[in-house]
Homo-oligomer: A and B are copies of this chain.
Amino acid sequence: MAKTSATIRDVARAAELSVASVSRVLNGKDNVHPDTRERVLEAVRALGYTPNAAARSLSTARTHALGVVLPDLHGEFFSELMRGIDRAASAHGYFPLLSSMHADGVLAGQAMAAMRGRVDGLLVMAPQLDAADLAAALPTGLPTVLVNCQGEDRHHAFRVDNRAGVRLMVEHLLACGRRNIVHIAGIEDNLDASERRDAFSEVMAELAPDQPARILQGDFQEATAGRLVQELLADDVPFDAIFAANDMMALGALQALREAGIDVPGRVAVAGFDDVPLARFLSLSTMRVDIDGLGARATERLIEEMEGRADAPAFERLTPGLMARGTTQASN
């Protein structure tokens, strides 16, 4: 009933023991007499005592929190990633502490610095920072794991294997009999966008060297892709497949084609990347990226590092899976 919550001293007093004994019981040490344990537990219950986390952190230099630094994310990607992170974190008794980050490198550094003393480790996703800015922003001496970051080899890093994903999709399109595939690239300076674009060129050169491999500059936006497809049609450019760098652009392309009365997939196949929930509804073929799994694995690795049982930092690629659906169905 006290205005301010009970402390360990109150518990000690109530149990007629020292704070040391209370602390031992609370931390599950085995060098306590059963009777002592009982009295402590009883007092804890009676007072509704919960240890003060800040005091504990100060003593132990551990916070049981882990910092999650993310760009300003929308939608499914964010929720799935957090889902994986949260699942892994809570399984090990950690809380995720969130910090959104804006594009500016200096601000990013401040955001991460502000987490010092608040977290035992950092999970950073910063696709918008170049290697130098990222290196400058990362705090030293704090276990850190990177997701979707550019060239940084002092920390363990996770990325989607865009190359493998693009290869799977191109193979699928070729297997469906497509011969004239147009790639709509994502926004410039984005790592995923450029990896997917480059992989498209290379895989096409390898698997179908005699066929065109046209690339249009998109920006991951649905409307832009729709416009690009309209231009393609207006210019009478021949093509029998659109492979967009993400699902939203694939959907934009799909709508533009349907509005133009083009049969999909009869005349043109459409494919995307990401497997957003919409894709399933609209029968869009795409590459499934296991974002939840990515978040969980990155978190597991971070916790291993925080608890000093991690291997040397490495670079992990997660391969997406092909989801072949209606928009690329072979017509024969």
Contacts and interface: CB of A to CB of B under 8 A. Distances in A.
Interface of A: 3-5, 48, 50-58, 63, 65, 73-76, 78-79, 82-83, 86-87, 90, 95-100, 113-118, 139-141, 251, 277-278, 281-282
A165 B51 CA distance: 44
Contact of A57 (B54, B75, B86): B54
B116 A53 contact: yes
Contacts of A74: 79, 83
B86 A75 contact: no
B98 A95 contact: yes
Contact of A79 (B53, B75, B282): B75
29 contacts: A3-B141, A5-B141, A50-B117, A50-B139, A51-B117, A52-B116, A52-B117, A53-B115, A53-B117, A54-B57, A54-B118, A55-B58, A58-B58, A65-B118, A74-B83, A75-B75, A75-B76, A76-B76, A79-B82, A82-B98, A86-B100, A90-B100, A95-B99, A95-B114, A96-B97, A96-B98, A97-B98, A277-B277, A281-B282
Q: Which residue among A113, A116, A118 has the maximum number of chain B CB atoms within 10 Å of its CB?
A: A118
Contacts of A116: 5, 50-53
A47 B91 CA distance: 36
Contact of A97 (B56, B83, B97): B97
Contact of A281 (B48, B86, B251): B251
Given A52-B58, A74-B79, A78-B83, 16 more contacts: A5-B141, A50-B114, A53-B114, A53-B116, A53-B117, A54-B54, A54-B57, A74-B83, A75-B76, A79-B79, A86-B100, A95-B114, A95-B115, A97-B98, A278-B278, A281-B281
Nearest to A255: B281
Given A75-B79, A277-B278, A117 B86 contact: no
Contacts of A57: 54, 57
Contacts of A141: 3-5
Contacts of A5: 116, 141
B50 A118 contact: no
Contacts of A139: 50
A257 to B, nearest CB: 15
A75 B291 CA distance: 12
A288 B58 CA distance: 46
A139 to B, nearest CB: 8
A4 B76 CA distance: 39
A97 B99 contact: no
A281 B58 CA distance: 52
A98 B75 CA distance: 18
A58 to B, nearest CB: 5
Contacts of A50: 113-114, 116-117, 139
